[in-house]
Amino acid sequence: MRTPLVALLLVCSCGTVPSVDDGGAGGSAAGGNAAGGNAAGGNAAGGNAAGGNAAGGNAAGGNIAGGNAAGGNAAGGNAAGGNAAGGNAAGGNAAGGAAGGAPVGSRLVAFVGSGNGTITAWGVNVATGAMTALGPTAAGANPSFLAFDVPRSRLYAVNEGNPGQVAAFALGADAGLTLLNRVSSQGAGPAHVSVDPSGRWVMVANYTGGNVAVLPVRPGDGGLGPASDVQASGGQAHQILADATGHVAYVPCKAANYVAQYRFDADAGTLSPLAPATVATAAGAGPRHLALHPGGQWAFLINELDDTLTSLRVGADGRLTPVDTKSTLPAGFTGANTSAEVQVHPNGRFVFGSNRGHNSIVGFSIDQQTGALALVGHAPTGGNQPRHFDIDPSGQLMLVGNQGSGTVHALGINPTTGVLTPLGQRAMVNAPAFVGMTLLP
């Protein structure tokens, strides 16, 4: 069993037929590259939450997790100031422990990476899903995926293109972003970026380049240095995600039809293949993103091309073993579709995935003993081509970025049943490729 991370991320939408391929240089394909991850889960929101016990989390005050905090008030009797028990940072999967709602004075903010070269910030009402614009930041070419390190006041963004880059920003309490520097991603078409639990390393997956790189974080200002390691992980590397211990990293490779698995040396910033070095998926499945369970014993892989979601057992050494696979689509659906993002609910009981084409979020319950999946249902996302989505730290709210329709829609989450309910709230954003929520002090 591993010590879990604290995490955060977002949602997807409904609409028309998606593009079949998502990504490479420039991330131009509608339905785009690498959505997912989790902003906090897929993207390990590095380090220990200020004031809390969130290992690697984005929780200022250490209170992310399974509670239903409405406006900072724990609805559902979560112990105030509790410890965030497990979540997967960034991209992520928020914790499943007893946490007391948002810290006093904190606020929920969503950051959206867009195809027009900007990152926009939005104040979010967790109870209603209403979003209030806080302003855009010019972020370079196609900032299609972001990663947060709130305790250290940093945000990192890929610049998806050729040559690929990763940009480092100082993150203000007012949600303002100030560029620190920009470095090479060591490959074309970077599709995913994450922060390791220690906060000392940023990892990037290059979709077009088929490789991954580790970038050191400068100890002074949080900017980035040249890569400490580069690995040829496999065709169309779509994500790189460290586990809660910071000792293992996973890379779903869509064209290669496997998940590469590495041992990570957090002192040297280097990756070395585990044995076996890869975990195969079904032929033509197109593995895209992986999300980790708050308890650390399960992982969940969404497969873009055959529209399936697979649960995997995580061994004591970090190695993955497939357990169960289910379709992300309802029975009888015959339209075009590609799956995109996957996230685990903070309470660890449910996993969600997005469908671009059916334009829905699918939900499954998780058997905590076996890892088997059982369908909960499908919810419309309110827009077209939901590339990415995120769940707020309290587990009440999902925001879905509908890339094709240029909208972000809000869905309420029932933490007992896993049922999703559209809240009738939306924000207009140019081609949203990533949506991630985090608590700012």
- Predicted confidence (pLDDT) per residue in 367-415, tens digit: 999 999 999 999 999 999 999 999 999 999 999 999 999 999 999 999 9
**Which one, of 271, 158, 272, lies nearest residue 208 by Cα?**
158
pLDDT, the chain, mean: 82
Look at residue 148 in the predicted model and tell me its pLDDT.
96
Please, which pLDDT band fits residue 106 given cuts at 50, 70 and 90?
confident
The token duo for 134 is 């806080």
Q: What burial letters (b/e) apply to 123-155, b meaning 16+ CB within 10 Å?
A: ebbbbebbbeeeebbebbbbbbbbbbbbbbbbb
Q: Residue 115's pLDDT is what?
A: 85
428 pLDDT higher than 80: yes
Pairing of strands 211-216, 201-206: antiparallel
Residue 372 DSSP label: -
**308-331: average pLDDT:** 98
Task: Locate 270 and state its tokens.
Answer: 């280097």
* In the predicted structure, residue 438 carries a pLDDT above the cut 50: yes
**Domains identified in the chain and CATH numbers:** 25-440 (2.130.10.10)
Whole-angstrom CA distances from 133 to 120, 329, 402, 439 are 8, 33, 17, 16
DSSP designation for 219: T
Q: What percent of the chain has pLDDT over 70?
A: 76
Q: What percent of the chain has pLDDT over 90?
A: 75
φ/ψ (deg, to 5) at 254: -65, -50
Q: Which residue has the tokens 């929780």?
A: 59
Query: How many CA atoms are closer than 13 Å to the CA of 401, on its beta-carbon side?
Result: 39
Residue 143 confidence class, pLDDT cut points 50, 70, 90: very high
Give pLDDT tens digits for 195-234.
999 999 999 999 999 999 999 999 999 999 999 999 999 9
Measured between alpha carbons, how far is 239 from 292 in angstroms, rounded to an integer? 13
387 touches 113 (CB < 8 A): no
Can you give the pLDDT at residue 5? 33
Give yes or no for a contact between 436 and 422, defined as CB atoms under 8 angstroms apart: no
Q: Which residue carries 């040396």 as its tokens?
A: 265
The values of phi and psi at residue 29, to 5°, are -60, 130
- Is pLDDT at 81 greater than 70 in this prediction? no
Q: Quote the DSSP letter at residue 431.
A: S
Per-residue CA distances from 4 to 48, 55, 139, 289 (Å)? 11, 7, 31, 18
pLDDT for res 335: 96
d(CA 95, CA 363): 18
- Strands in 229-307 per DSSP E: 229-231, 241-242, 248-253, 258-265, 270-280, 287-292, 298-303
Q: For residue 25, which phi and psi values (nearest 5 degrees)?
A: -55, 135
Q: Which two tokens stand for residue 29?
A: 């394909």
Place of tokens 């810290």: 103
Closest to 44 (Cα-Cα) out of 186, 201, 254: 201
Q: Which residue has the higher pLDDT, 370 or 83?
A: 370
pLDDT digit string (tens) for 278-296?
A: 999 999 999 999 999 999 9
178 has pLDDT over 60? yes
First to last CA, the chain: 31
Q: How far is CA 68 from the centre of its chain?
A: 20
Whether the CB-CB separation of 181 and 226 falls below 8 Å is answered with no
Q: Where are the beta strands (DSSP E) in 5-96?
A: 68-70, 73-75
Look at residue 251 and tell me whether its pLDDT is greater than 90.
Answer: yes
Alpha carbon distance 204, 191 (integer Å): 8
pLDDT computed for residue 102 by the predictor: 57
What are the pLDDT digits (tens) for 322-381?
999 999 999 999 999 999 999 999 999 999 999 999 999 999 999 999 999 999 999 999
Nearest to 118 by CA among 71, 159, 62, 80: 159
Determine the average pLDDT of the residues in 24-36.
35
Lowest-confidence range among 9-18, 105-114, 184-193, 344-353? 9-18
Spatial distance between the Cα atoms of 19 and 77, rounded to a whole number of angstroms? 44
Q: Which amino acid is at 97?
A: G
Residue 251, beta-bridge partner list: 260
Confidence class for position 78, pLDDT limits 50, 70, 90 = very low
